[in-house]
Chain A
Amino acid sequence: MKVVTGVVGNDIHVVANRLIDISLQARGFEVFNLGVNTSLEEFIDAVVETDADILLISSLNGEAEGWCRDLQFLRSEYDLKEVIFVIGGNLAVGEAAQSDIIPKYKSYGFDLVFHQIDLNTGLDEIERFVKEKA
């Protein structure tokens, strides 16, 4: 399966991005890592170009929300209904409850949302989601 991943927005936190990359590879995914400081449009372009199955966006500085509001729009523009959209990391600036954040990001068009969740737990969830969908 093909996964496009990267860190959204003006966010240079590269360590987690690299760990996601090698973790996905270890689980047998084909990874297209766009690295840090990536805009939503670049992610969508890469999904189209690579014909990816999953888009996994990460964010550490908490600014992801501002960058991901247009996802629904872009998703419909490109007819990307089969692609699984995932976002994870630290999804709010400052303190925030899971119960607030998860529905909010789902309404933006994400299938799976992980706020301050351990990396391997998140990746297990993705694998389960893929299996159930198939």
Chain B
Amino acid sequence: MSLLQKERDVITRNEYADSFDFDEIEDFIRNANKEMFISHHFKKRDRILVQPRGGFPTYKKMFELYEEFMKADIDVLPLTIDSNTRLNDYAMAKKMLTLSEENEMDMLNGYPLVNHGYRTTRKMMTHFNKPVSLRHGTPDARLLVETALASGIFEIEGGPITYMLPYSKNFPLDKAFLYWKYVDKVCALYSTLNEPINRESFGPLTATLVPPCIVIVIQLIEMLLSIEEGVKSFSVSFSQNGSMMQDIVTSHVLKKLAREYADMLGGEDAIINLVYHQWMGAFPRDKNLSDSLINTNTVIAAMVRADKIIIKTRDEAFGIPTMQCNAQSVANTKYTLRTLKGLPEVHDAEEEENLELEVRAIMDAVFNDPADTLWRKVFNTIKNGLIDVPFSPHIINHNEVITIRDDSGNIRIIEKGKLPLPDRCFAYEKSKVNLPESKTEVITKIIHDIGAML
């Protein structure tokens, strides 16, 4: 028995999980309908796939949500996981699930997949016969992902950096790398049976003035870590940042470099997809304005030629949306995409060149780290502050980079901390901003820039 299989046996032998029958699961995946694999839909490249977020505690309510989505002609169904499961607290998830079932009241903010188990959940997934995307935020997602794949959920979001730096203060980053290595290995293993399992990174990060060069570097790294383990279909992603031009520039550089780095490191046969998130910062409290923001986002997703768009709802400022509201948002987004025709191809050579140079400089710093494996190089790079995510709560993050918007809404770096940016790139960033005289005014402007869509 391989070491991986031994580890899988240990991980899946859990009192709150189904008993895993790996041979049966392999058979299921081998014979699963291709419609259930998002990678199969990506290959066609004939439209932007629309995916909302959503998860309810009980099987019954989850089923009803999917029925609402189906009426809106959805492309990709979401399965959002509750916060107890994300922290591996299956005992609490079980208790809250029972309370939700008994009282017809939602006591969890998502679907506790491990407690429901794969035998039950698979019935729902095969019934709807649509690609499903696992949305969570779990540092140790080993059991969760085993359960998801066995259920027929063939897209797994997340990664050791993007599910860690925005969400956790002190979960050890080195452990997260190893736990996600396991996830990638299992995804790769199942990818040989049918269409490939798609892995997706979470580009929005803290969604708080994160400069494009940091987003792209982290997208490239998580893609390379997955490809290293044998993943054959990967989605890089980013979210609306407040300037349409900067989003378009980001998309060009991200697509170009993702292909280049993948090819360079043995991923020539991997499919790379682009995912665009609608605005991930604070939403207006006026629902009509939210509709307008969502619609603008859809236009930008089309402009950046995204393969998939992940949408928000008009209820965003108030909490978890109702099923009807969520489904309406799917229908609206699909309508906008259907009516958008003749989009121009836009480029800004100067901006693209500058961003590309920044990304290459940081990637060089990663590869030049003396550690022996990629994940250790990345770990050291983050620890040394050469990768630094603004507004991360994690203790390993340096928090020295400071960004602000220029007059066109582009995010610019005004303090680079230890980012290894070439001098000319940093000079270019700073030349774009007219900073107020006093530091107090600068901070007032940063506060304003964070809430750009309010």
Contact = CB atoms under 8 A, between A and B. Distances in A.
Contacts of B442: 26
A15 B393 CA distance: 9
B208 interface: yes
A35 B443 contact: no
Interface in B433-454: 439-440, 442-444, 446-447, 450
Nearest to B209: A15
B399 interface: yes
Contact of A19 (B169, B393, B447): B447
A37 B169 contact: yes
Of the four ranges (under 10, 10 to 19, 20 to 34, 35 or more), the interface on chain A belongs to 10 to 19
The residue in A15, A19, A21 that gathers the most chain B C-beta atoms within 10 A of its C-beta is A15
A17 B444 CA distance: 14
A18 B444 contact: no
B392 interface: yes
A22 interface: yes
Contacts of A15: 208, 391, 450
B169 A12 contact: yes
A26 B169 contact: no
A12 B443 contact: no
A98 interface: no
Contacts of A119: 443, 447
Contacts of B447: 19, 119
The winner among A35, A37, A119 for most chain B CB atoms within 10 A is A35
A120 B392 CA distance: 22
Contact of A14 (B392, B439, B446): B392
Interface residues on B, range: 10 to 19
B391 A18 contact: yes
A120 B444 contact: yes
Interface in B65-101: none
A23 interface: yes
B443 A36 contact: no
A35 B446 contact: no
B395 interface: yes
B435 to A, nearest CB: 12
Nearest to A20: B443
B169 A120 contact: no
B416 to A, nearest CB: 14
B402 A22 contact: yes
A19 B390 CA distance: 11
A17 B392 CA distance: 11
Nearest to B439: A26
B433 to A, nearest CB: 16
Interface string B124-148: 0000000000000000000000000
Contacts of A17: 393
Interface in A6-42: 12, 14-15, 17-19, 21-23, 26-27, 35-37
Given A15-B450, A37-B169, A26 B443 contact: yes
Interface in A48-82: none
Interface in B171-196: none
A45 to B, nearest CB: 15
Nearest to A123: B440
Contacts of A37: 169, 393
Given A26-B439, A119-B443, A35 B169 contact: yes
A19 B392 contact: no
8 contacts: A14-B391, A15-B391, A21-B399, A23-B440, A26-B442, A35-B393, A35-B395, A120-B443
Given A19-B443, A22-B446, A120-B440, 15 more contacts: A12-B169, A12-B393, A15-B208, A15-B450, A22-B402, A23-B440, A23-B443, A26-B439, A26-B442, A26-B443, A36-B393, A37-B169, A119-B447, A120-B443, A120-B444
The 4 A-B pairs at the shortest CB distance, nearest first, are namely A26-B439, A14-B393, A36-B393, A37-B169
